[in-house]
Amino acid sequence: MASETDRPLKSPPTMADVAELAGVSTMTVSRALKKGGPISEKTRRKIMNAVDELGYVLDQTAGTLSSKRSGFVVALVPSINSSNFADTARGITEAIENTGLQLLLGYTDYLIEKEERLVESMLTRRPEGIIVTGGRHADRTRRLLSAAGIPVIETWDIPDNPIEHVVGFSNAAATNALVHHLYGLGYRNIGFVGGTSNRDTRGADRRLGYAQAIEQLGLPRGRVISFGKPPISMEQGGEAIAHLMSQWPDVDAAVCVSDLSAFGALMECHRRGWAVPGRIAIAGFGDFEVARCSFPRITTISVDAFEIGRAAGDLLLNAIEASREGRRIPPELMLMPFKVIQREST
């Protein structure tokens, strides 16, 4: 057996090599390699032996060119370190598993300019469909996506003017519901903790929903702390809650833009000896594992990130299948449910 250090630098074997070794044509090899091909069991076996002997691996690159099917699907998420979008990515992965499709994943870093560059570079691979996060995009991104002629799905949001399909929910409505929930519990001086810039449009929508609810309920306005650039971290959640309390000592509840910041805020409260929810109630967004496990457990909005990915993946599969048959399915708007999860922190 060859030592593993003298690994080949030459190009790998081709289908023609396999065909020659098996004594058949390349076409027969091609058919033998895809399941369900019309091949006699005998020749298939011969071919498989040749494949093993040569260590042959199909070159999809070439296949793509001639079949005009790349087998790629792309998904763009803001970040992969937020378990939120990681779950969505997992949902997509699971949906396309065993379909022969490959996921090309990209991180936009919450920047629509980066999204634009990513879309362009991804289209270069001729994906058969694409899933993006959010409903705000650069103009050119929209143009590129429309011109690509492939199914497009926007997620995690309800865009005013969707590109094509949508799988999401209203971040504003969800946060609004959370504030009303806190109101129902008796809280009257409700603050908001979020990131600074408007990079994170979902964060901005949540703030909007908060402001609307405050307005509707006639509660004191302006108790908003903006801290750090999104995604706001645990650490920053801790700093933000300290600011909030020192600026408006009468605040009795804090709505945080995500469970991460809510958790950071909660731990800071522990540290400072502020009872939660006695002195101040804390609520988050996202129903992350950390919110379920912390002490006290954190009241939050649950949105099934995994399910968003799964649903988007399934929808994309349908659209791709239609597209392969020359059809096109009508634009779909899938509203995903959210709900307030009441826990010990409020």
Partner DNA sequence: CTGTTAGCGCATTCAT
Partner DNA sequence: ATGAATGCGCTAACAG
User: Which parts of this chain interact with a second copy (CB under 8 A)?
Assistant: 4-5, 7-12, 55, 57-62, 64-65, 68, 70, 80-81, 83, 86-87, 89-90, 93, 102-105, 107, 120-121, 123-126, 142-144, 146-149, 163-164, 233-235, 238, 260, 263-264, 267, 270-271, 289-290, 292-295, 323, 326, 328, 331
Write each residue from 102 to 131 as x if it is in contact with DNA (CB under 7 A), else as -, in one continuous string: ------------------------------
Query: CB-wise, 19 or 174, nearer to DNA?
Result: 19
In angstroms, rounded to a whole number, what is the distance separating the alpha carbons of residues 178 and 175?
Answer: 5
**C-alpha to C-alpha distance for 184 and 304, rounded to whole angstroms:** 24
Partner touching 27 among DNA, a second copy, none, CB below 5 to 8 Å by kind: DNA
| CA-wise closest residue to 133 among 160, 106, 151 | 106
Whose Cβ is closer to DNA: residue 60's or residue 83's?
60
Smaller CB separation from DNA, 33 or 224: 33
- Phi and psi at residue 19, to the nearest 5°: -60, -45
Question: Which residues have a Cβ under 8 Å from the Cβ of 284 and sit 6 or more positions away?
Answer: 256, 258, 259, 260, 261, 262, 263, 291, 298, 299, 300, 301
**Contact between residue 265 and residue 241 where contact means Cβ atoms under 8 Å apart:** yes
CB 296 within 8 A of CB 277: yes
Q: Which does 35 bind (CB under 5 to 8 A by kind): DNA, a second copy, none?
A: none
Residues in the chain, total = 346
CB of 52 to DNA, least distance (A): 15
In angstroms, what is the minimal distance from the CB of 273 to a second copy? 11
User: Which residues touch 94 (CB under 8 Å, ≥6 apart)?
Assistant: 309, 310, 313
CB 242, CB 272: distance < 8 Å: yes
The residue within the footprint of DNA, chosen from 20, 48, 63, 344 (CB under 7 A), is: 63
d(CA 244, CA 226): 10
> Going residue by residue from 8 to 27, which x/- string records binding to DNA, judged by CB under 7 A?
---x--xxx-------xxxx
Print burial letters for 197-221: b (CB count within 10 Å at least 16), e (below 16).
Answer: eebbbbbbbbbbbbbebbeeeebee
Look at residue 14 and give the partner it binds from a second copy, DNA, none, a contact being a CB closer than 5 to 8 Å depending on partner kind. Answer: DNA
Where are the extended beta strands (E) located within 50-161?
72-77, 102-107, 130-133, 152-155
290 makes contact, choosing from DNA, a second copy, none, with CB < 5 to 8 Å by partner type, with a second copy
CA 236/CA 244 separation, integer angstroms: 12
Using CB under 7 A as the binding rule, whether residue 99 contacts DNA is answered as no
* Contact letters for DNA, residues 299-328 (x by CB under 7 A): ------------------------------
**Least distance between a second copy and beta carbon 191 (Å):** 20
Q: Does 65 bind DNA (CB under 7 A)?
A: yes
Residue 4 binding: pick among DNA, a second copy, none (C-beta 5-8 Å cut-off by kind)? a second copy
Q: How far is the CB of 96 from DNA (least distance, A)?
A: 19
* By the rule CB under 7 A, 30 interacts with DNA: yes
- Give the one residue of 20, 48, 54, 59 binding DNA; rule: CB under 7 A: 59
Q: How many CA atoms lie within 13 A of 187 on its CB side?
A: 27
Q: Are 285 and 258 in contact (CB under 8 A)?
A: yes
Q: Which residues of the shown chain bind DNA in the complex (CB under 7 A)?
A: 11, 14-16, 24-28, 30-31, 33-34, 38-40, 42-44, 58-59, 62-63, 65-69
